[in-house]
């Protein structure tokens, strides 16, 4: 199955219902991708992810390159085989680590020099190298190396990162074209990433320049790095407007449940976020009536499920009291059950969004969801 994308329906808001076809299956969009940085969605088995109907998950080039090494993964038959996952995989390029590991790296026009957080060793990640590593991993969708910057950033800094991201995209394109047809994973495609900080002109320009290079899909990067959510939304909407309607748009690293609908209405087709998984491990659980800290004393003797309107395995089977106990006792099952629930919650919202678009009532769905989540607790 080669890569393809088809827009099935467009909502008046700009939200799109679509189908993304990859060598490892079809993904209904808008899609939420769980994050599995190191080739594992923490605390989840692959079987459990399949049960949750996850069709596409995210792994990380930089982390897998450092450990266990992309060549090892290539020898093991590629990432799909290595981690026993027959569905879709999107690999992030390491561009986010430019931002998150800011203390351990130096960015130049050539690429990013990292000092490994694992053993202190030095590594050079160039746009070409990022492509090569992702080829070795054999993901369905790879990402170009970009320069993700912090917020707030000056226009000059944002412009410089956007310019560099564009130059890196040109080099990536060459690297991609050079090897086309000679690969073990012929269906693999690469998405370019639009940068430009919180400046609309920069975003528009960067998007236009990348679009001219004809990538099969585009991502919007550099958002949700600390800016107010209204700005993220504004920039996301502004950017998608500059992207071709027939290509998938991936809004990287977002978002909170109440923001997801907004981003879909901005025209985003794909999203990923660590919030459901990381927050789960930290005892922060999402419900249709607002979040709860399961470790809090009030849940110690609470026989109710996390969310009585949730259909997930955890809510059908376990009480808040038990989950509270597991968390306090530092039991591994705590992370497993919490993650399961939070992922179900995010995936379920996205599924409901797809249905709402299909039925043409996204607007109503959106305001109802918003109202419930903002209504407060329990």
Partner RNA sequence: GGACGGGUGGGUGAGUGGCUAAAACCAGCAGACUGUAAAUCUGCCGCUCCUUGCGGGCUACGGAGGUUCGAAUCCUCCCCCGUCCA
Q: Report, as residue numbers or ranges, the catalytic residues.
A: 92, 272
Contacts of 124 (CB under 8 A, 6+ apart): 110, 111, 112, 113, 114
Query: Minimum CB separation from RNA for residue 222, in Å?
Result: 5
For the CA atoms of 275, 276, 280, 282, the dihedral, rounded to the nearest 10 degrees, stands at 0
Place of tokens 């430009």: 196
Residue number, 35 or 268, with CB nearest to RNA: 35
Query: Minimum CB separation from RNA for residue 100, in Å?
Result: 3
List, in sequence order, every residue forming a beta bridge with 26; answer none if it has no partner: 21
Asked if 89 touches RNA (CB under 7 A), the answer is no
φ/ψ (deg, to 5) at 187: -80, -5
Residue number, 10 or 211, with CB nearest to RNA: 211
Residue number, 131 or 254, with CB nearest to RNA: 254
Query: Minimum CB separation from RNA for residue 358, in Å?
Result: 25
Asked if 54 touches RNA (CB under 7 A), the answer is no
Query: Minimum CB separation from RNA for residue 8, in Å?
Result: 25
d(CA 173, CA 177): 6
Q: Determine which helix (DSSP H) or strand (DSSP E) holds 64, and give its type and residue range.
A: helix 61-66
Does residue 255 have a cis peptide bond before it, meaning omega lies within 30 degrees of 0? yes
Residue number, 75 or 205, with CB nearest to RNA: 205
Stretches 3-11, 69-77, 106-114, 278-286: which one binds RNA (CB under 7 A)?
278-286
Best CA proximity match to 333, nearest among 44, 37, 36, 39 = 44
Among 56, 89, 275, 315, binds RNA (CB under 7 A): 275
Asked if 256 touches RNA (CB under 7 A), the answer is yes
d(CA 310, CA 313): 9
d(CA 287, CA 309): 9
Q: Which of residues 327-366 bind RNA (CB under 7 A)?
A: 328, 330, 332, 335
Among 22, 29, 55, 93, binds RNA (CB under 7 A): 93
d(CA 352, CA 362): 9
Contacts of 237 (CB under 8 A, 6+ apart): 14, 266, 267
Stretches 3-11, 168-176, 252-260, 367-375: which one binds RNA (CB under 7 A)?
252-260
d(CA 193, CA 293): 35
Q: Which of residues 302-321 bind RNA (CB under 7 A)?
A: none
Q: Which of residues 173-232 bind RNA (CB under 7 A)?
A: 193, 219, 221-222, 224-225, 229
3-state DSSP assignment of residue 129: helix
- Other beta carbons within 10 angstroms of residue 2's beta carbon come to 9
Query: Minimum CB separation from RNA for residue 181, in Å?
Result: 26
CA distances from 186 to 58, 90, 152, 158, 234 (A): 19, 15, 40, 35, 36
Q: Which of residues 108-167 bind RNA (CB under 7 A)?
A: 117, 143, 146, 148
Among 293, 351, 372, 378, binds RNA (CB under 7 A): 293
User: Residues in the site for RNA, rule: CB under 7 A?
Assistant: 35-37, 41-42, 58, 60, 63, 92-93, 95-97, 99-101, 103-104, 117, 143, 146, 148, 193, 219, 221-222, 224-225, 229, 252-256, 259, 272-275, 277-279, 281-284, 293, 295-298, 300, 328, 330, 332, 335
């Amino acid at each position: 199955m080669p890569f393809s994308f088809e827009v099935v329906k467009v909502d008046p808001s700009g939200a799109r219902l679509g189908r993304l076809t990859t060598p490892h299956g079809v993904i209904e969009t808008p899609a939420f991708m769980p994050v599995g940085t190191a080739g594992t969605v923490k605390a989840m088995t692959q079987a459990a992810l399949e049960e949750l109907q996850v069709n596409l998950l995210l792994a990380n080039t930089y982390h897998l390159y450092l450990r266990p090494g992309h060549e090892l993964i290539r020898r093991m038959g590629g990432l799909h085989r290595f981690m026993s996952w027959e569905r879709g995989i999107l690999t992030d390029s390491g561009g986010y680590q430019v931002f998150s590991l800011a203390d351990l790296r130096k960015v130049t026009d050539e690429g990013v020099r990292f000092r490994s957080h694992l053993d202190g060793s030095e590594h050079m990640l160039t746009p070409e190298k990022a492509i090569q590593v992702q080829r070795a991993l054999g993901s369905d969708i790879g990402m170009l190396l970009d320069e993700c910057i912090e917020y707030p950033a000056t226009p000059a800094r944002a412009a410089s990162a956007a310019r560099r991201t564009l130059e890196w995209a040109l080099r990536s394109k060459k690297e991609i074209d050079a090897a086309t047809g000679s690969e073990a994973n012929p269906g693999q495609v690469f998405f370019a990433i639009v940068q430009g900080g919180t400046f609309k002109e920069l975003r528009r320009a960067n998007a236009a320049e990348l679009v001219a290079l004809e990538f099969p899909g585009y991502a919007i990067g550099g958002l949700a790095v600390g800016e107010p959510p209204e700005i993220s939304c504004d920039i996301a909407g502004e950017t998608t407007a500059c992207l071709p309607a027939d290509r998938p748009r991936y809004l990287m690293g977002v978002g909170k449940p109440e923001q997801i609908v907004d981003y879909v209405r901005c025209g985003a087709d794909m999203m990923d976020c660590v919030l459901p998984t990381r927050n789960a491990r930290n005892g922060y659980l999402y419900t249709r009536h607002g979040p709860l800290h399961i470790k809090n004393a009030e849940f110690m003797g609470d026989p109710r499920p996390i969310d009585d309107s949730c259909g997930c395995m955890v809510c059908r089977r376990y009480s808040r009291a038990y989950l509270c106990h597991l968390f306090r006792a530092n039991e591994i099952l705590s992370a497993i059950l919490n993650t399961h629930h939070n992922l179900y919650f995010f995936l379920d919202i996205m599924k409901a969004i797809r249905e709402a678009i299909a039925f043409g009532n996204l607007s109503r769905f959106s305001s109802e969801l918003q109202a419930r989540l903002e209504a407060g607790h329990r």
